[in-house]
């Protein structure tokens, strides 16, 4: 795609489209936020003494302030902290001067008299809590690898607004300051923070570790981790790089260390500003939170997205680690060195890091087909799913929002971490890069970083740098994509004389009367077999000319654009006739669009199935994955319907030949995508009751029990899943025992994920009970319930359980989870009766921060309900039409039925 040349119709850029560009370049004084802007922290010196028995800590800090206007009050953030003393410029302040407001999450300090402009020093002492969930300072209990001993370690998670739980601070991203941390920890602990240790000394009850002062940065980027840890280290240029993990696990960081060295060099070059800190630590924690966090100089990861054991880890894990590491490292520049001014521009951090991480991963690992099929970092449990598609599905609904959205409080800041921010952001940046050209785009990024380093920025600043480098009005093109919700569908109609008429309109799903919107679309197209061409579609209509009547034309080349294309019958038939000549990305794009049109009720299911039938018979990973995703969706939607068995029969007839091409055993020299596809097919065929696959998994599981080396690491998760899906009690117990015993978080995850897949209601209930125990880290414990809701086929059992134990469950949720956990459990219902139930539950039980997630869940239930009504008769008609399929025995009815082929 990088080679595509765009024919730019500059003249019409300046016409049409209402002016959307409302945003201004970064300006501290007018940046949104709660804290007054005339008192600015310059330097913090913070001292923390954790009490590992009581799970509390003692803290103190001095903050050098730049007071820019005479004031009688200081306002900063604090949450769940007890302030025990305060002084300004060494003069103690009475307790009555301190007012903590838990609702506003602020600490207000009334001063006895007005203080003048200039430098002042605030000193505070305080106590706080070490949390079970990954918010603020948290603890994680784990079994030590090798010894099996029960241990405890400390970690922090501050984004978006939880630094204020560890120390009072100006906890908004534009209040950059320098931070110097000192911590008292047991002598056998290794303590890690953003910077290197400056001094270590023995004190009562352990040792005092003083870290060097950070450069100017946002408060949410602080990090502190301490425990019985090991490390491996290396160098990349002048930067010390380390992987840190709990004892006896650091060597599993070898792969991540090598990746870090490679990625650091790539980014040093790409951004044109070398990584500015003396060291970069990659820290694996066995709990606290899922995913990863880009703290400057000390990135934290849930263990299974950083550690790789060549003996037991799968290739999917290797890919995920590379991609997550590349994403978090991109943040060291985009996010840390330059930080979004306010949370309404979170996409600047996340959309960009997602794109950059993928670009870097694809550069060094072309064999992974990164842009076609890959996972995204936030949720390490997602294995399948094409990110752009996930975002486009949500973006078509009424509950979507613009990439840039107004954020007025902490709960909204935490809710901003969603698919639109990450994936639509990434997808738009990719479209823009291919539009401006790779070199021009990079030049703009270099200018942007150079101009805003150690400072903050808005989206307007990024567009301004890209406009400079490209000479094109980037802000004007971008506005439609970042400042309004949704995206367009372009319809294609063949006309006489080699003309093709194009029209754009908003694409929606289950959203009648959606406001009409318009975009400037960087369109790409090719007359099949010829080089790609492009045009900037600035109006509602456009026209292609000189397209020979007998030739097919494909728009959105390789699916790199964030829009859909719907063809008229003549164009569609021509494309179907030339499918074999299209690239795999182009065919995947046709599949994705067709499936979306079925969901949007713009095309019958029949069209999608016909397209599948006409695909070339090779087992291409991305094509099959698209089909697997759609079939999996249908299969879950029609649970309990009479069409389900016949549908599964049909689905097997499509997918089984791909599996037979690949076989059970990994072949030497097969491309990595074969391994990925094999695993996906085993999973889905197991769900679709393919008896040969189920038997094959059971046999392999038995062999594995006797000889673990007999089962390739790549196959393990799928084999465990299928075995558990159809498990009896004894088998399920065996899986549980294996999960309990292992000290590898990746293996643990494989076993416990499998446990949630049991369809036997008794076993599903047992899987749910695990969420209340201490067997799993908090984020994984919560996921047990979501996963039962999704995979066990009993979302009702999962919800009943969650409702009865909501308080205990929410106590394990981190800042991002707490506002969406309960509503997320409704996403698998398709009965409208659940809508009222959710509304009533939310009203009586959930804080207002859940409102957005509740609305999204209601939207989804309504959609699923309607979609089901629309799909069932179409499925019935399709099945009737397929004589051979409808004549086959129903495998779901009898577990002994012959394998279907
Ligand atoms: Zn990120």
List strand residue ranges (DSSP E) for 556-705, in order: 564-567
How many angstroms separate the most distant Cα atoms in the chain? 89
In DSSP notation, 795-817 reads: HHHHHHHHHHTHHHHHTT--TTT
Q: Do the Cβ atoms of 282 and 262 come closer than 8 Å?
A: no
Q: How would you write 143-183 as a 3-class SS string?
A: ECCCCCCEEEEEEEECCCCCHHHCCCECCCCCCCEEEEEEE
Alpha helices in 831-882 (DSSP H): 833-845, 851-881
Asked if the peptide bond before residue 160 counts as cis, ω within 30 degrees of 0, the response is: yes
Strands 292-293 and 298-302: antiparallel
3-state secondary structure of 799: helix
Q: How many CB atoms lie within 10 A of CB 53?
A: 7
SS3 content of the chain, % helix, strand, coil (to 5): 45, 20, 35
Q: Is 110 helix (H, G, I), strand (E, B) or coil?
A: strand
Q: pLDDT tens digits for 154-188?
A: 999 999 999 999 999 999 999 999 999 999 999 99
Q: How far apart are CA 139 and CA 227, in angstroms?
A: 10
Output the CA angle 781-786-790, nearest 5 degrees.
140
What's the gap in Å between 636 CA and the centre of ligand 1?
31
Cβ–Cβ under 8 Å, residues 138 and 131:
yes
What pLDDT, on a 0 to 100 scale, did the predictor assign at position 618? 76
Please report the pLDDT score of residue 21 as a whole number.
53
Q: How far apart are the first and last CA of the chain?
A: 39
Calculate how far, in angstroms, residue 221's C-alpha sits from the geometric centre of ligand 1: 12
- Interatomic CA distance for residues 582 and 547, integer angstroms: 17
Q: With contact defined as beta carbons under 8 Å apart, do 314 and 371 qualify? A: no
Angstrom distance (rounded) from CA 551 to CA 529: 9
What is the rounded CA–CA span in Å between residue 340 and residue 452? Answer: 10
Residues forming beta bridges with residue 339, ordered by sequence position:
456
Determine the pLDDT at residue 619: 65
Distance 708 CA to ligand 1 centre (A): 36
Report the 10 Å Cβ neighbour count for 249. 24
* pLDDT of the residue at 20: 55
CA of 161 to the centre of ligand 1 (A): 15
Helix (H, G, I), strand (E, B) or coil at 726: coil
Q: What is the Cα–Cα distance from 460 to 809, expressed in whole angstroms? A: 41
776 dihedral zone (left: phi>0; alpha: psi -120 to 50; beta): beta
Write the DSSP assignment of 373-395 as a string of letters.
S---SS-TT--S--HHHHHHHHH
How many angstroms is it from 470 CA to the middle of ligand 1?
27
- Ligand 1 center–CA 152 separation, angstroms: 27
For residue 353, the CA-to-ligand 1 centroid distance in Å is 6
d(CA 382, CA 360): 21
Residues 598, 603, 607, CA angle at the centre, nearest 5°?
90
Say whether 328 is catalytic: yes
- For residue 895, the model assigns a pLDDT of 34
Cα–ligand 1 centroid distance for 358 (angstroms): 12
Dist CA 36 CA 539 (whole Å): 44
Q: What per-residue confidence (pLDDT) applies to 388?
A: 72
Enclosing H/E stretch for 739: helix 729-741
Output the pLDDT for position 387: 62
Pairing of strands 338-340, 455-457: parallel
On the CB side of 68, CA atoms within 13 Å amount to 9
Nearest to 474 by CA among 510, 435, 509: 435
CA–centroid distance, 294 to ligand 1, in Å, is 7
443 strand-pairing partners: none
Helix (H) or strand (E) holding 590: helix 584-599
Q: What integer pLDDT is reported at residue 117 of this predicted model?
A: 96
CA of 661 to the centre of ligand 1 (A): 38
Please state whether beta strands 39-51 and 178-185 pair in parallel, antiparallel, or not at all (unpaired): parallel
Q: What is the C-alpha separation between 293 and 160, in angstroms, rounded?
A: 11
Residues in the chain: 901
Looking at residue 799, what is its pLDDT? 97
Give the model confidence (pLDDT) of 821-830 as tens digits.
999 999 999 9
- Surrounding ion ligand 1 within 5 Å at CB are 350, 353
Catalytic residue among 105, 208, 323, 328: 328
DSSP label at 316?
Answer: H
CB 263 within 8 A of CB 247: no
* Residue 334 dihedral angles phi and psi, to the nearest 5°: -90, 90
Under 8 Å between Cβ of 324 and 302: no
What are φ and ψ of residue 750, in 5° steps? -60, -45
Report the alpha-carbon distance of residue 729 to residue 468 in Å, rounded.
65
Distance 180 CA to ligand 1 centre (A): 24
357 alpha carbon – ligand 1 mean position (Å) = 9
SS3 label, residue 88: strand
Q: Which residues contact 637 (CB under 8 A, 6 or more apart)?
A: 830, 864, 867, 868, 871
Low-confidence ranges of the chain (pLDDT < 70): 1-22, 373-387, 619, 883-901
Measured distance CA(492)–CA(571) in Å, rounded: 8
> 563-578 burial, b if ≥16 CB within 10 A, otherwise e?
bbbbbeeebbebbbee
Sign (positive/negative) of CA torsion 372, 373, 374, 379? positive
Closest to 597 in 3D by CA, of 477, 680, 492, 482? 492
Angle in degrees, 0-180, between the axes of helices 621-637 and 672-687, rounded to the nearest 10:
20
pLDDT at 373: 63
Q: Please give the Cα distance from 470 to 146 (Å, whole number).
A: 56
H helix or E strand, kind and range, residue 647: helix 644-662
CA of 293 to the centre of ligand 1 (A): 7
What 8-state DSSP symbol labels residue 454? T
d(CA 102, CA 104): 6
* H or E element that contains 767: helix 761-770
């Amino acid at each position: 795609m990088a080679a595509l040349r765009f024919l730019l119709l500059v003249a019409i850029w300046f016409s049409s489209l209402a002016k959307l560009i409302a945003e201004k370049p970064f300006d501290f004084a007018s940046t949104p936020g709660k804290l007054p802007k005339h008192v600015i922290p310059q330097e913090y010196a913070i001292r923390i003494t954790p009490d590992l028995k009581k799970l509390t800590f003692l803290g103190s800090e001095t903050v050098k302030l730049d007071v820019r206007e005479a004031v009688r009050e200081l306002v900063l953030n604090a949450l769940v902290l007890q302030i025990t003393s305060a002084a300004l410029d060494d003069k103690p302040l009475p307790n009555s001067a301190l007012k903590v407001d838990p609702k506003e999450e602020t600490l207000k300090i009334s001063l006895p008299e007005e203080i003048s402009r200039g430098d002042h020093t605030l000193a505070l002492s305080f106590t706080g809590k070490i949390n079970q969930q990954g918010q603020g300072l948290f603890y994680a209990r784990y079994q030590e690898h090798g010894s099996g001993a029960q241990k405890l370690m400390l970690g922090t998670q501050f984004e978006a607004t939880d630094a204020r739980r560890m120390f009072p601070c100006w906890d908004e991203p534009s209040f950059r300051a320098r931070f110097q941390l000192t911590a008292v920890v047991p002598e056998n602990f290794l303590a890690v923070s953003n910077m290197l240790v400056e001094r270590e000394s023995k004190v009562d009850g352990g040792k005092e570790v003083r870290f060097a002062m950070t450069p100017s940065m946002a408060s949410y980027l602080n990090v502190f981790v301490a425990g019985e840890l090991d490390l491996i280290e290396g160098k990349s240029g002048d930067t010390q790089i380390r992987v840190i993990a709990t004892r006896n696990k650091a060597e599993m960081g070898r792969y991540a260390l090598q990746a870090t060295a490679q990625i650091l060099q790539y980014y040093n070059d790409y951004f044109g500003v070398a990584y500015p800190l003396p060291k970069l630590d990659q820290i694996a924690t066995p709990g606290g939170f899922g995913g990863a966090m880009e703290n400057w100089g000390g990135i934290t990861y849930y263990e299974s997205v950083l550690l790789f054991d060549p003996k037991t880890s799968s290739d999917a894990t290797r890919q995920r680690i590379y991609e997550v590491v590349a994403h978090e490292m991109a943040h060291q520049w985009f996010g840390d060195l330059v930080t979004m001014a306010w949370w309404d521009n979170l996409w600047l951090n996340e959309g960009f890091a997602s794109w950059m991480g993928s670009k870097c991963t694809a550069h060094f690992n072309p064999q992974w087909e990164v842009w076609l099929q890959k996972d995204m970092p936030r949720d390490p449990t997602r294995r399948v799913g094409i990110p752009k598609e996930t975002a486009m599905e949500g973006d078509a609904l009424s509950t979507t929002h613009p990439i840039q959205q107004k954020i007025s409080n902490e709960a909204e800041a935490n809710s901003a971490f969603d698919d639109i921010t990450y994936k639509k952001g990434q997808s738009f940046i990719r479209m823009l890069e291919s539009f401006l050209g790779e070199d021009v785009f990079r030049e703009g990024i270099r200018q942007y970083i150079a101009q805003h380093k150690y400072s903050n920025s808005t989206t307007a600043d990024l567009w301004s740098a890209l406009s400079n480098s490209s000479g094109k009005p980037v802000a004007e093109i971008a506005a439609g994509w970042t400042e309004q919700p949704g995206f367009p569908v372009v319809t294609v109609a063949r006309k006489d004389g080699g003309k093709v008429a194009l029209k754009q309109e908003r694409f929606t799903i289950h959203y009648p009367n959606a406001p009409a919107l318009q975009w400037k679309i960087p369109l790409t197209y090719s007359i099949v077999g010829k080089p790609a061409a492009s045009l900037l579609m600035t109006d509602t209509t456009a026209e292609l000319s000189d397209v020979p009547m007998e030739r097919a034309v494909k728009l959105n080349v390789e699916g790199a654009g964030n829009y859909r294309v719907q063809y008229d019958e003549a164009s569609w038939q021509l494309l179907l006739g030339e499918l074999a000549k299209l690239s795999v990305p182009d065919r995947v794009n046709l599949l994705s669009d067709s499936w979306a049109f079925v969901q949007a009720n713009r095309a019958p299911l029949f069209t999608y199935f016909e397209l599948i039938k006409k695909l070339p018979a090779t087992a291409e990973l991305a094509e099959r994955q698209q089909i697997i995703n759609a079939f999996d969706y249908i299969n879950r939607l029609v649970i309990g319907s009479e069409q389900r068995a016949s549908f599964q029969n049909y689905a097997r007839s499509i997918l089984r030949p791909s599996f037979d091409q690949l076989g059970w055993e990994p072949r030497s020299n097969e491309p990595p995508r074969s391994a990925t596809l094999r695993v996906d097919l085993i999973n889905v065929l197991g769900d679709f009751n393919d008896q040969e696959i189920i038997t094959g998994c059971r046999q392999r599981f038995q062999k594995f029990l006797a000889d673990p080396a007999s089962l390739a690491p790549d196959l393990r998760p799928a084999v465990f899943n299928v075995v558990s899906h159809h498990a009896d009690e004894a088998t399920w117990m065996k899986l549980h025992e294996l999960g309990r015993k292992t000290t590898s978080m990746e293996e643990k995850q494989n076993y416990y994920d499998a446990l949630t897949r049991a369809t036997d209601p008794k076993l599903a209930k047992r899987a749910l009970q695990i969420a209340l125990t201490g067997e799993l880290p908090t984020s994984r414990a919560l996921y047990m319930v979501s996963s039962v809701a999704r995979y066990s086929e009993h979302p009702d059992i999962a919800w009943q359980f969650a409702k009865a134990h909501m308080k205990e469950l929410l106590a394990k949720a981190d800042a991002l989870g707490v506002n969406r956990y309960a509503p997320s459990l409704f996403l698998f219902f398709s009965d409208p009766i659940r809508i009222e139930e959710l509304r009533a539950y939310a009203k009586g039980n959930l804080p207002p921060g859940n409102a957005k997630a509740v609305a999204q869940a209601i939207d989804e239930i309504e959609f699923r309900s309607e979609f089901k009504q629309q799909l069932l008769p179409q499925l019935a008609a399709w099945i009737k039409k397929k004589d051979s399929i409808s004549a086959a025995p129903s495998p779901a009815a009898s577990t002994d039925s012959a394998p279907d082929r």
